Amino acid sequence: MEELYLIKQRFGIIGNSPYLNHAIEVAVQVAPTDLTVLIIGESGTGKEFFPKIIHSYSARKHGPYIAVNCGAIPEGTIDSELFGHEKGSFTGAIDSRKGYFEVANGGTIFLDEVGDLPLSTQVRLLRVLETGEFMRVGSSKVMKTDVRVVAATNANLQDAIAKGKFREDLFYRLSTIPIYIRPLRERKEDISLLFQKFSTDIAEKYHVPPIKLTNDAMDMLINYKWPGNIRQLKNVAEQMTIIEKSRDIDAHTLQKYLPEVKPNLPVLFSDFSDADNLNERELIYKYLIDMRRDLNEIKKIVFQFILNNKNSEEAPYTANKEITPPPLPIKLSDQQIHNPIHDSNTIIANSKKDDDTDVVYLLENDKNNGNVESLSLEEKEKELIIKAIQKHNGKRKLAAEELGISERTLYRKIKEYNLDV
């Protein structure tokens, strides 16, 4: 416990969260080895401290330590930065240059935002991790390096692998030892300590009295989601310390500095925890299944309506009654095939069978005018919905029960057909 306190004091780490303490303990435990470490966490959670801890407690502590922000280097020059280049290898290469892997030989290199590396660079990096070999840009000479690699990312690399943006073999090579840094919203016990530290530091720097939060303001501070994590908390503390004239900050004042966190639906947040959240594909499947069920309900209603007296003012339909389509198949004579308007009142013109229900389309011979009545499912749905709503004097809940469908489906159909009911 004393060693943990000394580590925090040495590297300026503030917090007593069990999650934070566990991450530090893992970093110290893995430091004496040469295993690659992947630090995972949202932006602003303090991932940059852990490569320094690993390097300082390793046998390489007297060797060089180089931190590289992979997302800040243009794709066209990233290979040159990491592996070096020879004179004349590209426009502007007026001299030979050593890369970071060559300079950091015998030490540690920290690759921040490793998920932003181009695929071509990922191939080079994989070779260095597996064999310690690399070649400068524009050279065919194989060079060796002895470097400990620690990487970090705020992206979900599993999703990047699925999209073809990150190599799966490189992911497993980098994540020999994964360390997950929890977001600030999961380390509530650290929020007040961090806020006090940031506000006191800025007050001392600019010689102003420190601010103090009321109880309601402190509750708001602790329960806020902090999407920007520690960086956002520091920003808020410094702003209020400098801008606010009153040194007592209440919840109303604090609210002005906390932007509203709006939930995203469906939830697509890249979460590295073990929570069983629905992914995008599962949500789409669920929605499609609901739509299919509703469509089958409408088909049954329309079929029942057609089979009953089409001239009646209201369609006699009972939601609990089982509807059985006519027996299939029905063989048509050659005359009926060539002449669909036959002497019989009703014939089966076409049928289609799927996994859930038999959908039968009927053609009726109107004896009065000899024309085929339009039996569009859409038109019949409109007619049936309008009659059901009129029957119940505009009460859509009762109309939905009469039709045997959910109220949500009824509202969707009214909007879809633009019905004025």
Lowest model confidence (mean pLDDT) among 236-240, 246-250, 281-285: 281-285
Contact 388, 419 (CB under 8 A): no
Tokens of 179: 């360390």
pLDDT tens by residue, 78-103? 999 999 988 887 777 788 889 999 99
- Confidence band, pLDDT 50/70/90 cuts, at residue 281: low
Q: To 10 degrees, what angle do helices 188-205 and 229-243 make?
A: 40
User: Looking at residue 285, what is its pLDDT?
Assistant: 59
Rounded-to-integer distance, Cα 10 and Cα 4, Å: 10
Looking at the whole model, is its pTM more than 0.85?
no
Note whether 2-182 and 186-255 share their fold: no
Q: Does the domain spanning 2-182 belong to CATH 3.40.50.970?
A: no
User: Looking at residue 390, what is its pLDDT?
Assistant: 86
Query: Cα-Cα-Cα-Cα dihedral of 399, 405, 408, 412, to 10°?
Result: -90
pLDDT tens by residue, 174-223? 999 999 999 999 999 999 999 999 999 999 999 999 999 999 999 999 99
The residue whose two tokens read 């243009």 is: 74
Does the pLDDT at position 270 exceed 60? Answer: no
- Domain positions in the chain are 2-182, 186-255, 283-417
User: Looking at residue 93, what is its pLDDT?
Assistant: 78
Q: To 10 degrees, what angle do helices 396-403 and 377-391 make?
A: 130
Contact 361, 368 (CB under 8 A): no
The alpha-carbon radius of gyration of the chain (Å, integer) is 35
pLDDT tens by residue, 298-349? 777 777 777 665 545 444 444 444 444 444 444 444 444 444 444 434 333 3
The residue whose two tokens read 């801008």 is: 243
Average pLDDT along the chain: 80
User: Looking at residue 411, what is its pLDDT?
Assistant: 82
Contacts of 240 (CB under 8 A, 6+ apart): 199, 211, 249, 253, 254, 257
Does the pLDDT at position 157 exceed 90? Answer: yes
Rounded-to-integer distance, Cα 324 and Cα 307, Å: 11
- Distances, alpha carbon 34 to alpha carbons 54, 62, 83, 395, in Å: 10, 15, 20, 72
Q: Edge-to-edge strand order for the sheet containing 108-112? A: 65-69, 108-112, 148-153, 37-40, 177-180
Q: Which residues of 162-187 are buried (b: 16+ CB within 10 A; e: fewer)?
A: eeebbbeebbebbbebebebbbbbeb
User: Looking at residue 280, what is its pLDDT?
Assistant: 54
Burial class (CB in 10 A: 0-12, 13-18, 19+), 289: exposed
pLDDT tens by residue, 350-380? 434 444 433 333 334 444 444 444 456 778 7
Q: Does the domain spanning 186-255 belong to CATH 3.40.50.1100?
A: no
Contact 317, 305 (CB under 8 A): yes
Q: Which residues of 199-210 are buried (b: 16+ CB within 10 A; e: fewer)?
A: beebbeeeeeee
